[in-house]
């Protein structure tokens, strides 16, 4: 069941989303050569706690950190560690904040330094696919129209979409119904209604779509070791369209 949020709940999610946006901006600004992903994690947790919130990810299913930091061929769920960022690294940063019982969730992909032409195109297409999908978001469209729009856009640029991980509903729980794949047929599934809150998150591979999970049970890598990217925002469906809750 997709939970429709009240105005009070949406207001709290806006607060959570603003915290997430601020964390992502700070971490993006600090993605320099030599910085460790553990240092980025500490920055994120400090900001979240200072704003009266809690890190949504820390302890979630046993995850040990406040952020997911996924470098190069790691797609999602990378555990921050003592790895020092290097020139050209493609860094996926995923952040969640729980403010007074309601969550915001968003992700960005950052290139350290200049990066390759392929990396720059990958990051651009991944982000643009999110905004391409938003063009159709309004009450009355089918949920799968989002998925289909992302797939058509990404594949038109020669990239692939992992099948095992999806966007999701969000609110009092970090992950609520519905699952939102980044591929699929149009005009399927539930209709969007005002007050639905969704975390839409294109995940894009430069090579094959298959992924593998490391022995830590979290870290998801591309099967062929090729670059990948991730872009996510939490949105609310409004009477006339949508509002992004995790973007400044």
The packing angle between helices 143-156 and 117-134, to 10°, is 150
Cβ distance 84 to 18 under 8 Å?
A: no
217-227 tens-digit pLDDT: 999 999 999 99
The C-alpha atoms of residue 157 and residue 149 are separated, in whole angstroms, by 13
pLDDT recorded at residue 61: 97
pLDDT given at position 112: 98
Mean pLDDT of the chain: 98
Contact 158, 207 (CB under 8 A): no
pLDDT over 90 (residue 67): yes
Query: Taking 90 as the threshold, does the pLDDT of residue 117 lie above it?
Result: yes
What pLDDT score does 51 carry? 98
Instruction: With a cut of 90, say whether residue 70 has pLDDT above it.
Output: yes
pLDDT at 248: 84
pLDDT of residue 34 exceeding 90 = yes
Q: Which domains does the chain have, with CATH numbers?
A: 7-244 (3.90.230.10)
The answer on pLDDT for 167 being more than 90 is yes
Measured from the Cβ of residue 39, the count of other Cβ atoms closer than 10 Å reads: 17
Q: Which tokens belong to 230?
A: 């991730």
């Amino acid at each position: 069941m997709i939970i429709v949020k009240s105005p009070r709940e949406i207001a709290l999610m806006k607060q959570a989303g603003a915290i997430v946006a601020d964390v992502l901006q700070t971490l993006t600004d600090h993605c320099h050569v030599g910085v460790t992903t553990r240092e980025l994690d500490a920055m994120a947790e400090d900001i979240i706690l200072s704003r009266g919130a809690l890190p949504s990810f820390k302890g979630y299913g046993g995850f040990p950190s406040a952020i997911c930091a996924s470098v190069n061929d790691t797609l999602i769920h990378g555990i921050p560690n003592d790895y020092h960022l290097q020139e050209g690294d493609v860094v996926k940063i995923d952040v969640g904040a729980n403010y007074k019982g309601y969550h915001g969730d968003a992700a960005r992909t950052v290139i350290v330094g200049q990066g390759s032409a392929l990396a720059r195109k990958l990051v651009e297409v991944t982000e643009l696919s999110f905004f391409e999908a938003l063009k159709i978001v309004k009450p009355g469209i089918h949920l799968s129209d989002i998925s289909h729009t992302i797939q058509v856009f990404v594949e038109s640029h020669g990239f692939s979409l992992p099948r095992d991980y999806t966007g999701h509903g969000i609110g009092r729980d970090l992950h609520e119904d519905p699952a939102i794949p980044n591929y699929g047929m149009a005009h399927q599934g539930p209709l969007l209604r005002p007050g639905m809150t969704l975390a839409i998150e294109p995940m894009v591979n430069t090579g094959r779509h298959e992924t593998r999970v490391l022995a830590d049970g979290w870290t998801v890598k591309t099967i062929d070791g090729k670059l990948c990217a991730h872009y996510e925002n939490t949105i609310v469906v409004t009477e006339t369209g949508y509002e992004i809750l995790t973007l400044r």
